[in-house]
Structure 1
Amino acid sequence: MPIDRAKTARGAIAGAVAAVVWAAQQPLDKRVFDVDYDDCELLGAAVTDGAAVTPVGWALHTLNGAAFGAAYAVAAPRLPLPSWARGPAVALVESTAVWPGTAFIPSLHPRGSRFPKLWGSRNAFLQATWRHLLFGVVLGELERRLNAPDVEEVPPSYEHVVSTNGHGSIEHAMVTITPVANGAADDDDEDDE
């Protein structure tokens, strides 16, 4: 099945928007979950240091969201889930699959020592789950709306039951009434016996 480039691009837009929503709410969820962890900072600090960490991190996070959204737009129609559940389900599966990688942040990340310990922290896992759930809801709903089929509502045709005089078709009425009339006649014959 060929990939629809326009649909994939709209999925990328939905993913980028969802990633920005995720990043923008991080200050709030840091307070709620009491974990001072920022995904944008993690990404930015992997490639730069100093004042550039924040803008580079936001850019990388948005690009990651766009890539995820593009892949999601291709895969979502094939998922055996209701449309409202696809985004959250895919995001939570991805979150759960990559979570064990947090154990390696302190040793593999160039600036891993500046981040809180995530692996083994219940609150950090809940924070990551919340972030992915939010991302999935925004991605799924936005992608569904952006990639909605361009189908104009066509009113159903009633020509087969309506005649040109506006009173209906006698053939349709007879087909509908006849089985009922025959059934009623059969019941009357049984009563006579």
Structure 2
Amino acid sequence: MELTPLAERFVRHFGEMGSRWGVNRTVGQIYALLYISGRPLNADEIGETLVFSRSNVGIGIKELQAWRLVKLVHLPGDRRDYFEPPKDVWEIFRVLMEERRRREIEPTLSMLREALLENPDNEADKVAQARMREMHELIELTTSWLDDVQRLSPETVVRLMQLGAKVQKVLEFADKLKFGGRDNGEGGPR
């Protein structure tokens, strides 16, 4: 498979971004190639296209499988293993969010919960624990909101995202109805 200049630019970019996302360049490039190929690819095709060794491709595929970003498929009449990403971009987003949560957010929440159970014995620890409580509350609120959003259909999520700052106007209008139009001088209810 030969990459067009457009496809090559996309694959190179994903390689560069991979290191910022916590995976190596090879893994990012393999994923990008699988994503834009439009069909399942086997390890030999991936290696030949990206000029990677078979072992680098194998390690990269295993990493992508661990992230649940590619799956193994078999083609009729062919004994080789082929790989493809989820076809739906929203499914990819959902999987990425779940994996980030499992790998990054849950361990942080666990540490914060443990720290909040301790009895601080000095002022510095009291201040630190208060800040940790704020962080815990924010992360819990955010993950709860993400759970709610993930239960929505992709079409509903798109509509919600397209609302953008208009959501603030709806909330302000709801507050005015709730509080009878009274205002505390800061644009919000008393």
- Larger relative strand fraction: 2
Select the structure with the greater relative contact order (CA < 8 A; seq sep ≥ 6): 1
Q: TM-score, normalised by structure 1?
A: 0.24
Give the helix-richer structure, 1 or 2. Answer: 1
